[in-house]
Amino acid sequence: MEVILTSGLLATTPILLAALGGAINRQAGIVNIGLDGMMLAGAFVAVLVDWHTHQPAVACAAALAAGALVGWLFALPITRLGANEIVAGLGLAVFMPGLFGYILPIFFNQASTLEPSGIPGIPILRIPGLASIPGLGPVFFAQDPITYFSWLAIPLTWLLLSRTVLGLRLRAAGHNPQVALAAGLPLAGLRELSTLIAGLLAGLGGAQLALVSVQLFNKDMTAGRGFIALAAFYFGRARPLMTAVAAVVFGIADAVSIRLTTAGLPDQIPEMLPYLAVVAALVVVAVRRRLAGANAAGTATVTS
């Protein structure tokens, strides 16, 4: 149990970071299906920079920047040229592995994996005292710094969205674009900024993926985590807390499915869980809304 929780939390981090980014993005009016590609960019740049500087902290900063850059570039066709966000997101998920599949053989003479020898990983940071609490201590207080940050990012995301002027503007851009436009807000700019933030967080998630348990990059290493993050913010209806809860549950399911694979049991069942959970959640919300509407109006609010 302890092992599953520890590995579950470790697996949660990239999903959680990307999901929070996706939630901010969603609140500002863009459904980000490209999170996986942004995470991959972060992972690649993290390994590359760590290799050349031997400074994991610098590598993380570079991964943030790389994710942010990909996020911003990805937003432009959507906000400025009217590209469809869904198709564009699916396209980015094809483009990024393609790009690394192209770069690796040409510049690094590798087919799909970049594994520089002897590069420093991101160390596990045991919080003195707390880490020695029996049971929970090693689970929660012997993690890597990015994982701690990802927990901190939950209230930070909430603060940003609910308690800052920028958050209000971002939400206005998503929920009420007409009003936002009338108020003179730069709609496209706000959406681009939110996608940049999503890329930033997803990129950091990529760095955690590439530099904590392993120190390598593989062009398929995100293995759909960006899409699990998508499921998480859909499940959480783009609210920070519920999105985080979903990310943790899906992260633990991810860790369980990896253990099942090693045990030779079907891992496809827990793999399906996040996606089925989203559909179930949408049904619950829709039915509830319908019931509430029926009670309020005295009649069913069936349209068309």
Write out the residues near other proteins by the rule CB under 8 A: 23, 26-27, 29, 31, 33, 74, 77, 81-88, 90-103, 105-107, 171, 174-177, 224, 227, 230-231, 233-234, 237-238, 266, 268-269, 271-272, 274-276, 278-279, 282-283, 285-287, 289-290, 303-304
**Shortest Å, Cβ 299 to other proteins:** 15
How is residue 174 written in tokens? 């998503």
Q: Which is nearer to other proteins, 31 or 245 (CB)?
A: 31
Confirm if 35 and 202 have CB atoms less than 8 A apart.
yes
Q: Report the chain's C-alpha Rg in angstroms.
A: 20
**83 or 131: CB nearest other proteins:** 83
Nearest-approach distance from CB 214 to other proteins, in angstroms: 22
The distance of closest approach from Cβ of residue 252 to other proteins in the complex, given in angstroms and rounded to an integer, is 17
Beta strands in the chain (DSSP E): 113-114, 125-126, 142-143, 217-218
Closest alpha carbon to 99 in 46, 38, 56: 38
**Shortest CB 81 distance to other proteins, Å:** 4
- Is the CB of 53 or the CB of 112 nearer to other proteins? 112
Minimal distance, residue 147 CB to other proteins, in Å = 25
Query: 88 or 197: whose CB is closer to other proteins?
Result: 88
Cα(201)–Cα(156) distance, integer angstroms: 12
Residue matched to tokens 């990310």: 247
Minimum gap (Å) between residue 182 Cβ and other proteins: 15
Conformation bin of residue 39: beta by default, left when phi > 0, alpha when psi is -120 to 50: alpha
Closer to other proteins by CB, 29 or 138: give it: 29
Q: Which residue pairs, CB below 8 angstroms and at least 24 apart, start in 24-27? A: 24/157, 24/160, 24/161, 24/170, 24/194, 24/197, 24/198, 25/194, 25/195, 25/197, 25/198, 26/174, 26/233, 26/238, 27/161, 27/170, 27/171, 27/174, 27/175, 27/194, 27/238
Give min distance, CB of 256 to other proteins, in A: 14
Cross-strand partners of 99: none
Nearer to other proteins, 159 or 282 (CB): 282
Rounded to 5 degrees, what angle do the CA atoms 44, 200, 190 make?
140
Nearest Cα residue to 203 out of 104, 96, 275: 96
- Name which of 30 and 119 has its Cβ closer to other proteins: 30
Alpha helix stretches (DSSP H) within 131-186? 136-140, 145-163, 165-175, 177-182
Closer of 122 and 278 to other proteins (Cβ)? 278
